[in-house]
Structure 1
Amino acid sequence: MSGARASWRRRFQLWLIGRLRSSRVWPAGLADKRTDLDRLGQRLPASVMVFFGSSVDALYQLRPWLPALSNLNEMHPVSLVFRDSRVAGQVRAESGLDCITLSTYGQLDQILSVSDVKLALYVNPDPINFESLRFTSLIHVYLGHGDSDKGVSVSNQVKAYDYCFLAGQAAIDRTSSSVMAYDAVARSVLIGQPQLDAPPVTGHPDPARPTILYAPTWEGSQPSVSYGSAITHGHEVVTTLKDAYRVIYRPHPLSGVADAEYGQADAALREIADRVDTDVTLEQSFADADLLITDVSAVTLNWLPTGKPVMVTESTAPKPPSPLMQALPLLSADADVAAAVRLHLETDPTADARRTMIEHYLGDTTPGVATARFIQACTSLIEQRDAQWAAQQAQGATGP
């Protein structure tokens, strides 16, 4: 094949790929990498960068942070960097924050080289984060997307970040007991849970019967963190309760992504539940329910401030040491679901234990406190970064 023909063929391939990426047939789980070409070489108008290289499927991890990031933007300008223009478009429309799509590490390097970004934030442990973690002129902070007693909450990946912003003392204790060669106290900043600072929501109860919210997590990416109960508990929970109770099913956005059997179980539960909450906020689901059945997940902790009873399904996946999991009722796959629900609705025997653990797990849940602590923590680290980076530059560091 001649050079001219090979060149034409390559140009045609790139054109076709570009057309596919801009079409509706491009998979939602695959980043479209449609670069904002007009932004290349231009300075990011921000001192804080949120790096989110994941696809639309994982947007649920970022969305709860948007109100806190909008508040932070008032003091320290924030830009969000994406690999998928569809995610960027949704976040831009919802938040009004500066959003940019970059498709390669080289493009990120180019932009950071002409910018003065001081702080990088991450809401998930996606391996693509390492494209951003390479840069030495920034302080890198792992935010996560909700604290939980899942094994993934104590991943060795925390060592990649300069600091972790955590909700409560429980997270530090969990990390200290599980991660070797890591000073969790020195590398952690307690801020509470800014995601809980959402405005109050009015509940919509069923006047004829109590409401049970069943909100399982997904199957997980590997067996050691597979806490999802859709297969083991889901059908029994919904079919047993739906006559005496209104049953709301709130599926996890990633159900079935790693295991098709979970996807089939999810589809079946959607057919038989009284209500399926996919386009309803978590706060609304909480407000509408009288009792929660869930798995080991962040949903369990976020529910605590409601003061209402909760039951957690038993799984075979290992859990880090957890006083909460020792206190809460665990629902086995062969449990008498109806009797357990009736008992906890009528007497709520774990109410006192849950109440004493709210601050231990979530910090101060007074509305607005966690968001204020988040902004103050970012401000402190920006000041620390400026001082340390000036010292590094004096020794010859060039960045970015």
Structure 2
Amino acid sequence: MGIQRDVRLGIKLVRDVTASRKAQRLLNGRLSKREPLPRQHFKIAVYFADGGVNLYQMRQWYKPFAKLAKTWPVLVLSRSGAGALPLIEESPVPVAYVRRVADLERVLAEQDIRVVFYVNQNPRNFQMMRYGRRWHVFINHGESDKMYMVTNQIKAYDYSFVAGDAAVARLDKVLWDYDFDKRAIKIGRPQADYYSGATPYVADERQVILYAPTWEGDRPAAAYGSVATHGVALVAALLKSAHHRVIYRPHPRSGVVDSEYGAANKAIIAAIAAANARDASARHIYDASPDLGWQLSAADVAIVDISAMVYDRLASGKALMVTRPVHPAAQIDTSGYLSDCEWLQADRAGNILDVLDDLTHNNEARDRLKDWVERYFGDTGPGVATERFQAAVTHLMQEWERCDAEHPQAVRIESVNSTDEAPTLEVTEAEAL
């Protein structure tokens, strides 16, 4: 078994190296054709040290960044070739590939970066945070009650943009001597202002069910994924119904740790294809698209795992169920929404039609949901979160002006060894959620 495993790892390494070199050639070609970035133009940077596997963390911010860039030009700083190539292809704001620290320092010298956003806790964020005279702001890539959301690492940033009262209460249990009034700025969920888009089907009488599970996790405490425990039975029952339409949107990392989990994911995808082949009018959807928006607004009911998807959906204010993890070691924060949510137990997944019928007619559940939406996100009226996001950035820009005037002779940090660079291979160092 050990030899077979080593052979598989060796084959994977060769494939990764080959894919990385190909991506690097494509990236070099794209970069050679680009015009230089305008100097002293960009005011905001978005630092992203990950590769392609974690691009979903950036994609959800595309539209808010594009809106923000109309006031303050925004530049993405990508440290990985595997991340930079797709970012250059799809990002609505410009991207600078800064693999080496020397590249990063060159861009900082050429631009007037005053605010730096971070969407995850990649350990290499610290390579950027060494540069002062700018605000380093953690904006995360979603709201959730995962243990990832209560890390003491938040103290490393000058500010954190959080969704609302629930996020502050969660952090208050963990962070000692932290000035929440100053450093935790509530902005709601600006991404929710863009929950729209054309659906790949014509709306009809079918009830639309979004099933969006997370991946299997890399340790028992984070074993929140439901594809193998709930998903196969749940989707099978829905596909048999002539009154339901399934939108299946699995996490892009599904199966990277557990092959059985990956097999269950593939089985669901195959079942959806077979159901559509039997009845083309069903229009069940396997959704692997990079954009998240229409799925949340179009679904009558969403069934999700403990992940940021709970709160992406919660921000819409529409019916929601959360799968209850089966693993006994899975950590669940029951002090927030998860203490009062509509749980879907694994042994009820096969009876999902009855469960949905009960939920649809449960007025008490609807009222509870409304209360939790306000607690987590505040006012979710159209455009309100976007206004709060813009106002938060305006505040930081004003604070930058004040501090810059008070400290005009601040000492610059000396350049570090220019050989300090990001690896060419895609290495996922940040937690994928």
Q: Give the TM-score range, shorter chain.
A: 0.7 to 0.9
Task: Provide the aligned C-alpha RMSD in A.
Answer: 3.1
Q: CA deviation at 1:55?
A: 1.0
Partners of 2:336 and 2:261 in 1: how far apart? 29
Q: Are the equivalent residues in 2 in contact too, given 1:176–1:183 (CA < 8 A)? A: no
Aligned equivalent of 1:55, options 51, 54, 62: 51
Residue type at the aligned position of 2:305? D
Residue type at the aligned position of 2:108? L
Q: Are the equivalent residues in 1 in contact too, given 2:249–2:286 (CA < 8 A)? A: yes
Structure 1 unmatched runs, 5+ = 1-16
1:225-264 correspondence to structure 2 within 5 Å: 225-244=222-241, 245-264=244-263
Q: Could you tell me which residue of structure 2 aligns to residue 364 of structure 1?
A: 379
Q: Are the equivalent residues in 1 in contact too, given 2:192–2:315 (CA < 8 A)? A: no
Aligned equivalent of 2:208, options 184, 208, 211: 211
Q: CA deviation at 1:275?
A: 2.3
Is residue 325 of structure 1 aligned with residue 338 of structure 2? yes
Residue type at the aligned position of 1:122? Y
Identical aligned pairs, as a percentage? Answer: 33
Q: CA deviation at 1:49?
A: 0.8
1:134-283 correspondence to structure 2 within 5 Å: 134-198=130-194, 200-201=196-197, 204=201, 207=204, 209-244=206-241, 245-273=244-272, 274-279=284-289, 281-283=291-293
Q: CA deviation at 1:262?
A: 2.6
Deviations 1:115-140 (A, max 9, x none): 32111001111112111111112210
Q: CA deviation at 1:81?
A: 0.7
Could you say if the C-alpha distance between residues 157 and 97 of structure 1 is closer, same or farther in structure 2, counting changes exceeding 3 Å?
same
Q: Could you tell me which residue of structure 2 aligns to residue 385 of structure 1?
A: 400
1:76-91 correspondence to structure 2 within 5 Å: 76-85=72-81, 87-91=83-87
Could you say if the C-alpha distance between residues 171 and 194 of structure 1 is closer, same or farther in structure 2, counting changes exceeding 3 Å?
same
Is residue 127 of structure 1 aligned with residue 132 of structure 2? no
Is residue 398 of structure 1 aligned with residue 394 of structure 2? no
Partners of 2:178 and 2:115 in 1: how far apart? 21
Q: Secondary structure, in 3 states, of the residue corresponding to 1:197?
A: helix
Aligned equivalent of 2:295, options 274, 285, 293: 285
Larger mean Cα displacement after TM superposition, 340-349 or 204-213: 204-213
1:16-95 correspondence to structure 2 within 5 Å: 21-23=20-22, 43=39, 45-85=41-81, 87-95=83-91
Q: Are the equivalent residues in 2 in contact too, given 1:213–1:249 (CA < 8 A)? A: yes
Q: Are the equivalent residues in 1 in contact too, given 2:120–2:138 (CA < 8 A)? A: yes
Partners of 2:263 and 2:388 in 1: how far apart? 42
Partners of 2:29 and 2:141 in 1: how far apart? 26
Q: Could you tell me which residue of structure 1 aligns to residue 391 of structure 2?
A: 376
Q: Are the equivalent residues in 1 in contact too, given 2:192–2:316 (CA < 8 A)? A: no
Larger mean Cα displacement after TM superposition, 301-310 or 101-110: 301-310
Partners of 2:271 and 2:168 in 1: how far apart? 40
Could you say if the C-alpha distance between residues 226 and 205 of structure 1 is closer, same or farther in structure 2, counting changes exceeding 3 Å?
farther
Q: Are the equivalent residues in 2 in contact too, given 1:55–1:84 (CA < 8 A)? A: yes
Partners of 2:150 and 2:20 in 1: how far apart? 36
Q: Secondary structure, in 3 states, of the residue corresponding to 1:100?
A: strand
Q: Could you tell me which residue of structure 2 aligns to residue 111 of structure 1?
A: 107
Larger mean Cα displacement after TM superposition, 208-217 or 373-382: 208-217
Q: Are the equivalent residues in 2 in contact too, given 1:233–1:313 (CA < 8 A)? A: yes
Q: CA deviation at 1:338?
A: 3.5
Partners of 1:87 and 1:333 in 2: how far apart? 36
Aligned equivalent of 2:95, options 99, 111, 116: 99
Deviations 1:350-377 (A, max 9, x none): 1000111212112222222212221221
Q: Secondary structure, in 3 states, of the residue corresponding to 2:124?
A: helix
Partners of 1:366 and 1:188 in 2: how far apart? 22
Could you say if the C-alpha distance between residues 254 and 18 of structure 1 is closer, same or farther in structure 2, counting changes exceeding 3 Å?
closer
Could you say if the C-alpha distance between residues 229 and 260 of structure 1 is closer, same or farther in structure 2, counting changes exceeding 3 Å?
same
Q: Are the equivalent residues in 1 in contact too, given 2:51–2:81 (CA < 8 A)? A: no
Could you say if the C-alpha distance between residues 110 and 267 of structure 1 is closer, same or farther in structure 2, counting changes exceeding 3 Å?
same
Q: Could you tell me which residue of structure 1 aligns to residue 281 of structure 2?
A: none
Higher RCO by CA contacts (8 Å cutoff, separation 6 or greater): 2
Could you say if the C-alpha distance between residues 221 and 42 of structure 1 is closer, same or farther in structure 2, counting changes exceeding 3 Å?
farther
Could you say if the C-alpha distance between residues 384 and 88 of structure 1 is closer, same or farther in structure 2, counting changes exceeding 3 Å?
same
Could you say if the C-alpha distance between residues 19 and 257 of structure 1 is closer, same or farther in structure 2, counting changes exceeding 3 Å?
closer
Q: CA deviation at 1:19?
A: 8.9
Q: Secondary structure, in 3 states, of the residue corresponding to 1:350?
A: helix
Is residue 302 of structure 1 aligned with residue 317 of structure 2? no
Aligned residues: 379
Question: How does the TM-score come out when normalised to structure 1?
Answer: 0.84
